[in-house]
Structure 1
């Protein structure tokens, strides 16, 4: 029983599945049927009839017939086949031959898509043809007035074009013929070919229009203005040469004639309609003429500078030479009495060589002026450099003069210092004699003797011929240090001796009370009498400090106002 029920359910399921699949086939058939009817319902003939406004001949007629034939084939053949395919698909679905039905429907879809592409291509080509015709017609509406205007302009201003008038007339005639060819193509229905010709006409017309506009100016520049300017420049160069300006080295005359020939050749080319490089040549010549005028102006300014500054330059050099000559004589005299350092002699010889070089350059400069070959710009540069060099040499000369003058000044200052140190030694000796000390320690006399010897060395150094100031300065510094040290030690010795006396006198009040103190004071007095003042002071001070701490400071405080 279960097998029977199962079988029944399977059959029912198969029936239901079959019905569903058949329903799907029917739905697709209905969909494709609607697609087919939509295509049939499109007014393709009306779209094709749009080109009837054009001349149906030639290329246009061929295309129209091809489009019409293609559309008729779609309607009568391909869409009719689709109807049969759809009927077959329904029969196959009824018979549950779903696989074959699907293949049939796939073929229908392929045909429908192909038809859509074909229709799209037809409509696109129709649009392209109409757009091409419209664009060509509108561009021709601009071309013909422009062509007419250019011919009018050429006729009214033909004097500005010279022989090139025939070239432009020929170009305009060629364009006129191309316009006529355009209308012939249109009359023959060859709109795409006409479109290509319009493009060519427009490009050629733009080129001719630009050239017609630019030609008069370029032609006038090459034929009249630049040749005239070059003639003026050439005349100016010749006049400057006659007036003494040195411009031969610039070689402008040859260059100007080359430019004149280049312009003649350019004019000849332009009269034949060849405008290439005209702007480049004009710009090149204008820029070069500007440079030429600048160089000529520079030469004129340089000549004026040379004529104006040459006398003052010669005078400055002569004054510098004369001044150095005086210095040279002074150096020769001073060398007999003074020793010159190598660095000083090097500066002196460098000055001498530099001034001699400037004088040699001046001789060459005068020769160049007389020969009249060297440009004034170069001469000006030489004068300017000469002025700078003279200024530097004057500064160095002044420094050197101060240096040699300082030699005598240093000698006088050294002698003054020597006298001062001798007075200081004399003062020390007087101070020692007037002091109440028992005697002068030997080291003080030794210091005095050393200082005197060093002073004597200064005298010897000053007596040398030639005088070497470096040696004098060294001896002077040694003597100065010796005298200063002698003065310091003498003052210190006298201060110690005087303070020792004060300490002993102060400590005497305790001598009877403190036997040990009395013994130390006696030792201090013995040292004092033997001129050993430092040890005497140390012994006495130590003794009194043991009895009365702080006594030495009070004694020193009492001594300072007395000394001052």
Structure 2
């Protein structure tokens, strides 16, 4: 029983302590909410509204002020009292034990305070804007006044710089000044918002006027002075150049100059209308066209100097290639008597002559045009440049042709010398073979030898024709040289095989009676030597038998032979 009583006392004590803790926490929460609400009162706006009211606002600004004031009254008379009630509710909740309700009421109170804080800051910012606009507008009044006075002074003192645009600029200034007066009126009546809208328009129109005042003097100077001077200079220069026998391709200098004068007049009208963007574009086009006309005049002046300088050079060049062509023609005619010119050398040189004649005719025509005063020098200069390039190409072709024919007699003489050498060389080969006193010659050697003799005879016939074909003769020489080299190798081989075979057969006689293998080989080798004239095979048979039966005997014999041959 005692234990139960003690347990009840402990539980009751714990509940009491929990209740006390809950009350203290609730009081702390209520205090926090109260402190937050107290900060809202630290933003005094009553004085701000009094100052704004003293600005004597009107129009849109007055409407904005009324909205802000009503919003402020809702804040003071409804939002703040509601927050006070919510704080009291939190305090009252602290006396009970419904912690969930207390926490919800505490959250609601904090949310209301946040909304009130946001509202009061918005009101404060909008009021500050009204005050700032008013200050800015009063400052702008003085600045704009000075600016307009400067515009008026510029247009008055420098009106001649603006040409036909002066009336339009003065009208723009008048509109700017009227807008300025409207801005002052709204500012003084206390309508900063309305004044701000007008100020935006005023700044735009003022900036546009300032831009025009900056740009127009330069545009007008080009139209009124620069272009007039340049176009007159072009017209005068054209007439002066025509008097000096200059001519122009298409000859449209004066019509173009007249068209540009009309365009200049039209652009002055656009300037009067203040179409500044179009005026700038037209001025650029006129300037480019004038530059083009100057270029046309200057091109002919430069071209004339070039033509006069190149005339003498071209005349000498034409004379030079004509002389070379005649010299080539003479050489070709002389060579064609004795030689067969099978590369169309004569026709090629004739074509060079035709090309030179065409260039000469063109050159003479240009000279005549210059003499009679109808020459367009730029066109002649272009033609002269092409003539020079064509003559240079013809000259190089003439050189190539000359180089190809000048060596023809030398090639013939070289071929005749080779013919004599070939004949002597073949006679020497025959003499070397005859000195061996061989029973006969192999058929393949005889065929090769006879073929070369025939080739030499054909070369002799070709060289002694009424007209020598040097190309054909040169090819025959090259072919014979190659074939003679082959015959020379065959001759050396034939002589070596025959002599070694004879010596080997003589050496084998020592063993014929005592060695049946060597005796048989000796008979076979002799048969190949005397009857078949196959000296190479004869040597192979006897040398193989000697080496087989008497190793080293044939090698020694061969070494001795070649040692003596050297």
TM-score, normalisation: structure 1: 0.79
Q: How far 1:115 sits from its partner (Å)?
A: 5.5
Q: Structure 1 residues 514 and 226 mapped into 2: Cα distance closer, same or farther (>3 Å)?
A: same
Task: Decide whether the 8 Å contact of 1:22 with 1:98 is kept in 2.
Answer: no
1:240 aligned residue: 241
Q: How does 1:221-232 map to 2 (within 5 A)?
A: 221-232=222-233
1:356 aligned residue: 354
The equivalent position to 1:552 in structure 2, one of 542, 554, 562, is 554
Q: How far 1:167 sits from its partner (Å)?
A: 3.6
Q: How does 1:29-68 map to 2 (within 5 A)?
A: 42-52=43-53, 54-56=55-57, 60=61, 63-64=64-65, 67-68=68-69
The number of equivalent residue pairs is 559
CA distance in 2, matches of 1:271, 1:405: 82
Is the deviation greater in 169-178 or in 473-482?
473-482
CA distance in 1, matches of 2:409, 2:514: 68
CA distance in 1, matches of 2:447, 2:62: 145
CA distance in 1, matches of 2:542, 2:481: 35
2:209 aligned residue: 208
Q: How does 1:370-519 map to 2 (within 5 A)?
A: 370-371=368-369, 375-433=376-434, 435=435, 437=437, 439-441=439-441, 443=443, 448-464=449-465, 466-500=467-501, 502-503=503-504, 510=510, 514=514, 516=516, 519=519
CA distance in 2, matches of 1:519, 1:108: 147
CA distance in 2, matches of 1:133, 1:358: 93
Task: Decide whether the 8 Å contact of 1:140 with 1:198 is kept in 2.
Answer: no
Q: Structure 1 residues 333 and 184 mapped into 2: Cα distance closer, same or farther (>3 Å)?
A: same
Q: Structure 1 residues 437 and 44 mapped into 2: Cα distance closer, same or farther (>3 Å)?
A: same
Kindly indicate whether residue 288 of structure 2 is the aligned counterpart of residue 287 of structure 1: yes
Kindly indicate whether residue 219 of structure 2 is the aligned counterpart of residue 218 of structure 1: yes
Q: Structure 1 residues 439 and 112 mapped into 2: Cα distance closer, same or farther (>3 Å)?
A: closer
Q: How far 1:171 sits from its partner (Å)?
A: 3.1
Q: How far 1:130 sits from its partner (Å)?
A: 1.0
1:196 aligned residue: 197
1:277 aligned residue: 278
Q: How far 1:458 sits from its partner (Å)?
A: 1.8
> Cα deviations across residues 483-509 of structure 1 (Å, max 9, x unaligned)?
44444444443334444554466566x
Q: Structure 1 residues 153 and 505 mapped into 2: Cα distance closer, same or farther (>3 Å)?
A: same
CA distance in 2, matches of 1:540, 1:14: 145
2:143 aligned residue: 142
Consecutive unaligned residues in structure 1, runs of 5 or more: 1-10
Task: Decide whether the 8 Å contact of 1:240 with 1:247 is kept in 2.
Answer: no
Q: How far 1:456 sits from its partner (Å)?
A: 1.6
Consecutive unaligned residues in structure 2, runs of 5 or more: 1-11
2:365 aligned residue: 367
Q: How far 1:224 sits from its partner (Å)?
A: 0.7
Q: Structure 1 residues 16 and 506 mapped into 2: Cα distance closer, same or farther (>3 Å)?
A: closer
Q: How far 1:145 sits from its partner (Å)?
A: 2.0
1:327 aligned residue: 328
Q: How far 1:275 sits from its partner (Å)?
A: 2.9
> Cα deviations across residues 208-246 of structure 1 (Å, max 9, x unaligned)?
223222322222122112221222223223322322223
1:3 aligned residue: none
Is the deviation greater in 477-486 or in 517-526?
517-526
> Cα deviations across residues 351-386 of structure 1 (Å, max 9, x unaligned)?
533542442244245335535656322222222222
Q: How far 1:45 sits from its partner (Å)?
A: 0.9
CA distance in 2, matches of 1:446, 1:162: 112
Is the deviation greater in 359-368 or in 20-29?
20-29
1:5 aligned residue: none
Q: How far 1:439 sits from its partner (Å)?
A: 4.8
Task: Decide whether the 8 Å contact of 1:249 with 1:375 is kept in 2.
Answer: no
> Cα deviations across residues 150-203 of structure 1 (Å, max 9, x unaligned)?
333333333323454444334333333333322221221112111222222222
Task: Decide whether the 8 Å contact of 1:511 with 1:517 is kept in 2.
Answer: no
Q: How far 1:13 sits from its partner (Å)?
A: 13
Q: Structure 1 residues 515 and 28 mapped into 2: Cα distance closer, same or farther (>3 Å)?
A: closer
Q: How far 1:77 sits from its partner (Å)?
A: 6.0
> Cα deviations across residues 491-532 of structure 1 (Å, max 9, x unaligned)?
443334444554466566x46984659957974678766666
The root-mean-square deviation of aligned C-alpha atoms, in Å, is: 4.6
CA distance in 1, matches of 2:504, 2:147: 134
CA distance in 2, matches of 1:544, 1:295: 104
1:161 aligned residue: 162
CA distance in 2, matches of 1:398, 1:36: 113
Task: Decide whether the 8 Å contact of 1:422 with 1:455 is kept in 2.
Answer: yes
CA distance in 2, matches of 1:534, 1:543: 15
Q: How far 1:90 sits from its partner (Å)?
A: 8.8
